[in-house]
């Protein structure tokens, strides 16, 4: 029996895309990087599991309960 890969989505700041999708944190200052790391811990997510980000952004509040801003929907792989 083969395992089925499962995916889910989460809404996070759009400017985190490069760090989450490409593992390129150079666009974040130290404070923003710490905020992203804390959000991943709170949401129990690994940056290694992100596979896509939508091209559409919207103004809203991220799922990590931060301040309102430009948000994108990220797809991540769920590990069993």
Q: pLDDT by residue (tens digit) across 6-41?
A: 999 999 999 999 999 999 999 999 999 999 999 999
Mean of pLDDT values over 55-64: 93
CA distance 20 to 77: 12
Percent of all residues in the chain with a pLDDT value above 90, rounded to a whole number: 84
Domain locations in the chain?
Answer: 6-78
What residues contact 45, with CB distance under 8 A and at least 6 apart? 10, 76
User: What's the mean pLDDT when you consider all of the chain?
Assistant: 92
* Separation in Å, CA 72 to CA 4, 18, 20: 26, 12, 12
pTM: 0.88
| pLDDT computed for residue 3 by the predictor | 72
């Amino acid at each position: 029996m083969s395992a089925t890969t499962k995916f889910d989505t989460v809404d996070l700041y759009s400017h985190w895309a490069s760090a989450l999708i490409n593992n390129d944190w150079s666009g974040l200052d130290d404070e923003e990087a710490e905020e992203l790391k804390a959000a991943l811990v709170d949401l129990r997510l690994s940056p290694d599991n992100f596979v896509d980000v939508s091209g559409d952004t919207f103004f809203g509040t991220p799922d990590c309960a931060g301040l309102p801003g430009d948000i994108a929907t990220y797809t991540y792989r769920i590990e069993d």
